[in-house]
Amino acid sequence: MDIASALESLMKIIGRLGNEAYGGPSVLRLSDALEVRMPVEESGLAESEVYEYQSKPLSPRTPFPHMIWDDAKFIGIDSSSRRLDAPQASIVVAAVSISWGAFELLDWPSVYEGFSSFGPPFLRMLPNSEGSLALEAPSWIDMRNPAGLFYDRDYSVAQAMDEARVFLENWALSEAVPKLLKSSKGAVIMVDGPLYLVPGALAGIGAPEKYIEAWRFLLASRMEAVRSLEDMGVPVMGIVKRLSRSRILHRTPQVSIGISKCIGVKDFSDESALYLLYRSGCVKRRPGFIYKTPKIKVKSNVEEDMNKIVEYLILPPGRLQDSSGLGRMVRIEYSEKTLRIIRSWGVEPYQIYSMASLASDSLLPLCIQASDRRAKMITKALKHLISSMLVAKGTILDYEDLGEVEIRWPGMKI
């Protein structure tokens, strides 16, 4: 089956929903469950403590190991999801991409002509009518959340988008990557985003049970996938690029006190703390070095085995880059088992990050950038195709979704 015929089947399902759903989604979707979906690192609910102490809250480090490491294979995983609102249903389009350095290993769904049916659903439908529960859908369309509960017109589309991304990433970690790895020697898996995403729904914030069940399933699947790779001797790291709302440094007493003494501020986000630390006199500037915080253990209030170690890195801009800013701030996340694997190679996690990025004259790992770009490209193209097909069939789209459609007027040469 190719993409065109797959999407044509989607049109038939939309057509079978009929006019009974033209009332649109419930107003309850407007909230989109922000607090429920917010990671505990941002909501301030995460408990943390210093895992390994260092004398200063931010210290320079040599980015690369002294040894020559030729066996490194940096594999990046990233996903993307987009929404499309029609009167009959809201449609979530998702994709995942796996890259080895700057080169693609696998995309799902595949953009090439013809694709096999081995992958999981990449479309999710949230119908606006009760009669939709009796509809049968192909295996690549999901009308239930990861816990097996039917989507309905009250279900948060933003929640479904999160579910779609994490579900595809878990599949990539558990099934696709092990099949693609011919040898686990020197392989490092880098996931764009947290290693384990623990949302507010699982941290005591009031949430509908159907959201809680979905996140329990997704987290259990993620943990099983990471453990399986680690059992193969393959470390797995999460790369978090957005730090503006996380507050792990502030919530770690042993680190927070040292930061406050340096910057003169008692309440801060992780991003502001790193910026002020780097600009303060507490940090000794050393050309050619990167800067890191102590290793911090973030405790899971869901399951002890889901605890993770995090550290923050500042990578100054290179010689050919604008030197007026910091360059790049990231948080790397990994389990204790991944830390043991990496150290058995004679390197540290921050050096793994440097080899995947700085060694290629980049501030971000090339494997993450490549996967990010391809996943977004695929979902953008799929959303455009679905929008165009719906308009061609006379379906009324949301105003913003109409912008995705290119209208070719009769007699116009393109």
For residue 309, pLDDT beyond 50: yes
Max mean pLDDT range (50-64, 191-205, 388-402):
50-64
Q: Mention every residue, 6+ apart, whose C-beta is less than 8 A from residue 95.
A: 79, 80, 81, 107, 108, 109, 122, 168, 374, 375, 378, 379, 382
Q: What is the DSSP letter of 294?
A: P
The pair phi, psi for residue 240, each rounded to 5°, is -100, 120
pLDDT value, residue 71:
75
pLDDT at 15: 77
Question: Whole-model pTM?
Answer: 0.90
Distance from C-alpha of 194 to C-alpha of 78, rounded to nearest angstrom = 11
DSSP string, 162-213: HHHHHHHHHHIIIIIHHHH-S--TTEEEEEES-SS--BGGGTTS---HHHHH
Nearest residue to 189 via CA among 239, 241, 235: 235
Q: Is 200 exposed, middle or buried (0-12, 13-18, 19+ CB in 10 A)?
A: buried
- Would you say the C-alpha torsion 366, 370, 373, 375 has a positive or negative sign? negative
Specify whether the CB–CB gap between 300 and 197 falls below 8 A: no
pLDDT band at 240 (very low <50, low <70, confident <90, very high): very high
pLDDT at 23: 58
Spatial distance between the Cα atoms of 312 and 48, rounded to a whole number of angstroms:
14
Between CA 316 and CA 357 the distance in angstroms is 12
* pLDDT of 194 strictly over 90: yes
The DSSP bridge partners found for residue 107 are 97
pLDDT band at 314 (very low <50, low <70, confident <90, very high): very high
| pLDDT, tens only, 140-173 | 889 999 999 999 888 999 999 999 999 999 999 9
Q: To the nearest whole number, what is the mean pLDDT of the chain?
A: 85
What burial class does residue 97 get, using C-beta atoms within 10 Å of its C-beta: 0-12 exposed, 13-18 middle, 19+ buried?
buried
Predicted local distance difference test score (pLDDT) of residue 320: 47
User: Is the pLDDT at 360 greater than 50, yes or no?
Assistant: yes
Mean pLDDT over 249-273 rounds to: 91
Query: What's the whole-number mean pLDDT along residues 56-71?
Result: 85
| Mean pLDDT lowest among 67-81, 94-108, 195-209 | 195-209
39 confidence band (pLDDT: 50, 70, 90): confident
pLDDT at 161: 95
User: What is the distance between the alpha carbons of residues 145 and 125, in angstroms, rounded to a whole number?
Assistant: 10
Q: Per this entry, what is the length of the chain?
A: 414
Q: Is 327 left (phi over 0), alpha (psi -120 to 50) or beta?
A: left
Quote the pLDDT of residue 32: 55
Query: At residue 31, does pLDDT exceed 60?
Result: no
For residue 130, report the phi and psi dihedrals to the nearest 5 degrees.
-70, -30
- pLDDT of res. 282: 84
